[in-house]
Amino acid sequence: MPTVMITGANRGLGLEFARQYGADGWTVIGTCRDPFNPGELATIEGDIQVHGLDVANHPQVDHLAKDLNGVAIDVLINNAGIYGPRNYKPEDIDYAAWEEVMRVNVMAPLKVAAAFAGNVAAGDQKKLVTVSSRMGSIADNTSGDFYVYRSSKAAVNAAMVSFAHDTADRGLIVALLHPGWVKTDMGGDGGDLTPTESIARLRKVIAGLGPADNGHFFNHDGSKIPW
């Protein structure tokens, strides 16, 4: 069966990714910051492997890549991320918090992608996807606000498109995905989709990705999102 690696697999969308792929018989390599307290991830049935990883800790990323050297990964899902401060005015932004969001939402996904590119290239599907947000679309920004989160998602989009071009000769299919407004701790109770609905749609998008989709940005319904 195929193998999927999911960062931030112990809650929210990552947990639902792990649950659904595990139920379908995939080998799931799930990472979380505290592998001794993985929460619901420990209760999922199937071939679930839990590894400790703080994605913003680059030595930890390198260490896990060494541990998984030679393990083929069909689909790698850069899911771990944070929202950062909310409800502020431009003159009140917490710039230190902004830096932390950029480390987790931008630098970490690229570091993970670079560290495990060889594993993904060795897989049959060769897919590497990053959970982004349409809030990172500059073309779609018609309301302003959300400086920290918007900028982090716009930046990770730019970084992963460059990564898509730089790894095209290795056969990787790199894509950005918008999960929709989901009812999670990050998304809040007002979301339009449940995690089950969102991930089922994203898995369908992932399953349909081909070489022509390298470097593109997709909505959960499979449509392309403007940059």
How confident is the model over 101-131, as pLDDT tens digits? Answer: 999 999 999 999 999 999 999 999 999 999 9
224 within domain boundaries: no
- pLDDT-derived band at 185 (thresholds 50, 70, 90) equals low
Choose between 154 and 183: higher pLDDT.
154
Reply yes or no on whether the pLDDT at 88 is more than 90: no
226 within domain boundaries: no
Residue 89: the pLDDT is 84
Choose between 213 and 181: higher pLDDT.
213
Q: Comparing C-alpha atoms, which of 158, 84, 173, 55 is closest to residue 124?
A: 173
Number of domains in the chain: 1
Task: Report how far residue 39's alpha carbon sits from residue 167's, in angstroms, rounded to the nearest whole number.
Answer: 35
Percentage of the chain beyond pLDDT 90 is: 88
Task: Report how far residue 131's alpha carbon sits from residue 112's, in angstroms, rounded to the nearest whole number.
Answer: 13
Residue 17 phi/psi, 5-degree rounding, is: -55, -50
82 within domain boundaries: yes
Supply the range of the domain harboring residue 192.
3-219
Q: What CATH number is associated with residue 19?
A: 3.40.50.720
- pLDDT-derived band at 187 (thresholds 50, 70, 90) equals low
51 within domain boundaries: yes
Separation of CA 162 from chain center: 16
Q: Which long-range contacts (CB under 8 A, 24 or more apart) does 132-141 make?
A: 132/156, 132/157, 132/160, 132/176, 132/177, 132/178, 132/217, 133/178, 133/179, 134/178, 134/219, 134/225, 137/217, 137/225, 137/226, 137/227, 138/227, 139/226, 139/227, 140/225, 140/226
61 within domain boundaries: yes
225 within domain boundaries: no
143 within domain boundaries: yes
- pLDDT-derived band at 191 (thresholds 50, 70, 90) equals low
Structure confidence by residue, pLDDT tens digits, 3-28: 999 999 999 999 999 999 999 999 99
227 within domain boundaries: no
- List, in order, residues 6 or more apart from 63 with CB less than 8 Å away: none
Residue 161 phi/psi, 5-degree rounding, is: -65, -40
